[in-house]
Amino acid sequence: MADFVLVHGAWAGAWAWKRVLPGLWSAGHRAFAVSLSGVGERSHAMSPQIRLDTHIADVHAVIEAEELQGALLVGHSYAGMVITGVADRLADSGRLRHLVYLDAVVPQPHESWSSGHAADTRAARRKAIAESGVIPPTDPSAFGLEGDDRAWVLRRQTPQPGAVYDDALDFDPARVARWPRTFIDCTRPALATIAVMRQRVRAEPGWNVVEIATGHLAMVSAPQALLQALLRAAA
């Protein structure tokens, strides 16, 4: 049996893992889906004070409260920033055993979520933050979703706290690299804002790269393929 901690990306919540959780449970594992402050069912707590460190603390708190040992920590998209911060905090604790970056940001020290984005993306998001304090959700069609899947995600998405966008993460890469690390690359369609990360994990040693021919929200569009990738990481 393994423990999984699943951390959603921008605009989502614990709901994003609804199609993956039953498979983990039926395989005999425990799985905890975290909702980060200000989004999902915690959107009522939206605040300008929510920072990257807030989200790191959200996940850290679940791991400590559940007294997890040797957990697989899975971060989707923006949450690659979050799980990297958590891993740095817990490097000496025995709480973790494997890091899984699901089409996620893989930061280097002092980088932010925005660091890997094209100039026009950064400009558009910073403009939205300056006007409203949040980043409005991206239409799920950009992630290859159509029909009922697109509608399901569209009605659940909530704005992302804007202050997390340019928050830089200070961490020790040697501490984070002590665990096995898997990058799950969602290739059809490949999301442009993850392009830098795809190249990075193939250039750096120590990464296991798994490709899934689906869009960025693999937990929605290809839950069984994602489930199998997670189960292999736990094996």
Catalytic site residues? Answer: 77
CA 69 vs. chain centroid, Å, equals: 20
Cβ-contact 171, 88 below 8 angstroms: yes
Cβ-contact 77, 6 below 8 angstroms: no
Cβ-contact 113, 81 below 8 angstroms: yes
Long-range contacts of range 190-197, CB-CB < 8 Å, 24 or more positions apart?
191/103, 191/142, 191/143, 191/215, 191/216, 192/118, 193/116, 193/117, 193/118, 193/121, 194/77, 194/103, 194/104, 194/105, 194/116, 195/116, 196/116, 197/80, 197/101, 197/104, 197/105, 197/106, 197/116
CA distance 233 to 218: 16
